[in-house]
Amino acid sequence: MNTLRTTVLLASLTALLLIAGKALGGNGGMVVALVLAMVMNFGSYWFSDKLVLRMYRAQPVGPGTAPELYSIVEDLARRAQMPMPAVYIVESDTPNAFATGRNPEHAAVAATTGLLRIMNREELIGVLAHELSHVRHRDTLVSAIAATLAGAITMLANMAQWMLLFGGLRGNDNEQGGGGVFGALVMMILAPLAAMLIQMAVSRSREFGADQGGAELTGNPLWLASALRKLEQANQRAPMQTAANHPATAHLFIVNPLSGLRLARLFTTHPSTEERIRRLEAMARG
């Protein structure tokens, strides 16, 4: 059911992109939007992991430089019968973690220094199992594609804004199937908002699945539930500054790194932490 829902949401994003292109430039604009989506998805498939890791200045570590972190990831990967991902540390006092990569063979797991400082071993295992579950189910690729499509829609909206400012849109383009000035105005306002809502829905549906998968991998859902409580409180107190500079990456983290910012609460990329904890506790009772 989760896979079907995600497929529908990604298809909705693609359709929204084509509609935005048509509103901006008629049939020709729709073709441009389709080509733009294909190019950006190609880039996100091959390079999204490298871009994100560089964005957060993540440093690779091994058994000699971060023995506990590396050994936990190694043990979880063995249990999950998946390839060992690359392991990174991000220098940040805000505790958090994320996974990236196009498939399990080309995956990376990153933890902040703040996470390593405040978590006990069981909680750290719960967090890393959650991230490996994302890799195992290829959520990292789905998230990258969703972010790319949403970014393309926003780019078209920005193009429409500049075209209106400099007179690039004239009256009405009904003969080409476009909406002219009116269509561009509607697209500028509604398309980015709709793209953001769909992207959030993709991210939220995947988080519940990763919680469940991580809990099953460790055998104790309460480890992750305890970690989520600490993470929520810490990120409310001190949002991650780097994530604030790159808000399109917020959905990658195990909890929203911007949850302490008032505006971010209106468009959160994650389901309620209380609901996630409630489900994990129900798993433990079951």
DSSP result, 69-130: HHHHHHHHHHHHT-PPPEEEEE--SS--EEEEESSGGGEEEEEEHHHHHH--HHHHHHHHHH
Do the beta carbons of residue 107 and residue 86 sit within 8 Å? yes
Rg over alpha carbons for the chain, rounded to the nearest Å, is 20
Q: Tell me what the mean pLDDT of segment 271-281 comes to.
A: 95
- How many domains is the chain built from? 1
Residue with more model confidence, 199 or 179:
199
Residues contributing to the annotated binding site for Zn(2+): 130, 134, 207
Of the listed 68, 131, 232, 275, which one is catalytic? 131
Residue 234 identity: A
Given this model, what pLDDT does residue 223 score?
98
In this prediction the pTM is: 0.78
Residue with more model confidence, 175 or 132:
132
Residue with more model confidence, 156 or 171:
156
232 as an active site residue: the answer is no
Residue 175's pLDDT band, with cuts at 50, 70 and 90, is very low
Residue 75's pLDDT band, with cuts at 50, 70 and 90, is very high
Q: What share of the chain has pLDDT > 90, as a percent?
A: 45
Residue with more model confidence, 98 or 204:
98
Domain enclosing residue 98, as ranges: 2-285
DSSP per residue, 209-258: HHHHHHHHHHS-HHHHHHHHHHHHHHHHHS--HHHHH-GGGGGGBSS-TT
Given this model, what pLDDT does residue 144 score?
72
Please state, in angstroms and rounded to a whole number, the distance separating the CA atoms of residues 245 and 262.
15
Alpha carbons within 13 angstroms on the beta-carbon side of residue 244 total: 14
Given this model, what pLDDT does residue 172 score?
45
Given this model, what pLDDT does residue 58 score?
97
